[in-house]
Copies of this chain bind each other. A is one copy, B any other.
Amino acid sequence: MPTEHRFTFGLWTVGNPGRDPFGGPTREPLDPVDSVKKLGELGAWGISLHDDDLIPWGTPGPERDKIVARLKAALDEAGMGVGMATTNLFGHPAFKDGAFTSNDRAVRRAAIGKAMRAIDLGGRLGAEVFVCWGGREGTEVGTAKDPRDALERYREAMDALVDYSLAQGHSMRFALEPKPNEPRGDIFLPTVGHALHFITTLARPDMVGVNPEVAHETMAGLSFHHGVGQALWADKLFHIDLNGQRIGRYDQDFRFGSEDLKESFHVVRLLERAGYAGPLHFDAHAYRNDDLDGVWEFARGCMATYRALAAAAQRFDADPDVQEALAAASVAELGEPTIGGDDPETLKAEVDGLDALAARGYGNERLDQLAVEVLLGVR
């Protein structure tokens, strides 16, 4: 088993029972401890979890501790870690109008309280990152929330949570997970860009990064690898959610690599080149018409495809034809400063050279076809 890739799976991913808006579950619930064991056997580095994945809503206090201890023992036995912890602020009906941005102040307060409890849990389990996905932070009715008020409340909540975590002595960093819509008509902080900007307005921006998800950026038709690129450029890629999704559809959360292999390749190549060392988290689930065997095929497939794409990226960059094509496209030249101390008048004078500069080609057809051929394994 390669150890360099720290693959993780949410308890809710392999444990997904196959419920959807049009039908009930098709699979039995999984005991988290069984999931840990099986994922360890398949070569995963760790797991992630919502508070309610582990401790069902309404579990009395004393039982909670036993549940946590039992999971911890299972993780220790399997030699596995916790990539991230998070809180479920979307399932309970009280969150139907939002959590941190519910119009009801009492709901907002309880939401912050629930997140604090989940931070306690994450800290206890040694989670590296605490993810905040604001799935209900939005609206279907434009007049129901002033977006400026909503962002103000969102900021207040995030600042309080970071303060709380630091006060408890936790080292966890936070990661915001953007999504454009579903389950709300429009969700606040819809893309990686909106989240990156929001973070700059926080009291402790250093503690908060993003958790981009393939499916979420792709729903809006945005380039996932460009979004991840902007996060890396800003040193804000604290976590990543890998899966498969078609543009302009319901949230599909398919097996990583099952959709858009070339974009998946670009993402993997970027992560590898950037030396991203955080968890590679598969936030996905098996097709609803599969049984438990299919669930483990799904988990195996996510990891196998990531490894195959990482190998393809290496093959690509080592290929002399590719190197020639990259040079023909002047790819490295984009890394060079444009101005180099020259003064404005010099630059203005160079405008007259534009007609001559139009002649060259950039060899992009060849470069992309080489990527396709590497991907297809025919070179």
Contact = CB atoms under 8 A, between A and B. Distances in A.
A128 to B, nearest CB: 22
A226 B147 contact: yes
A24 B344 CA distance: 28
B353 A106 contact: yes
Contact of A234 (B24, B197, B258, B355): B197
A198 B229 CA distance: 12
Most buried by B among A183, A185, A189, A295: A185
A246 interface: yes
Given A141-B287, A141-B371, A260-B260, 9 more contacts: A23-B183, A94-B358, A112-B338, A113-B349, A142-B225, A185-B246, A192-B194, A220-B221, A261-B261
26 contacts: A26-B96, A26-B358, A96-B358, A104-B330, A107-B357, A109-B347, A140-B254, A141-B368, A141-B371, A143-B331, A144-B362, A147-B225, A152-B335, A180-B220, A189-B193, A191-B193, A193-B194, A193-B195, A194-B230, A261-B376, A287-B364, A287-B365, A290-B362, A294-B365, A301-B365, A308-B376
Contacts of A333: 103-105
Interface string A347-374: 1111101110111111111111101110
Nearest to A301: B369
Interface of A is mostly: helix
A334 B377 contact: no
Contacts of A190: 191, 193, 222-223, 226
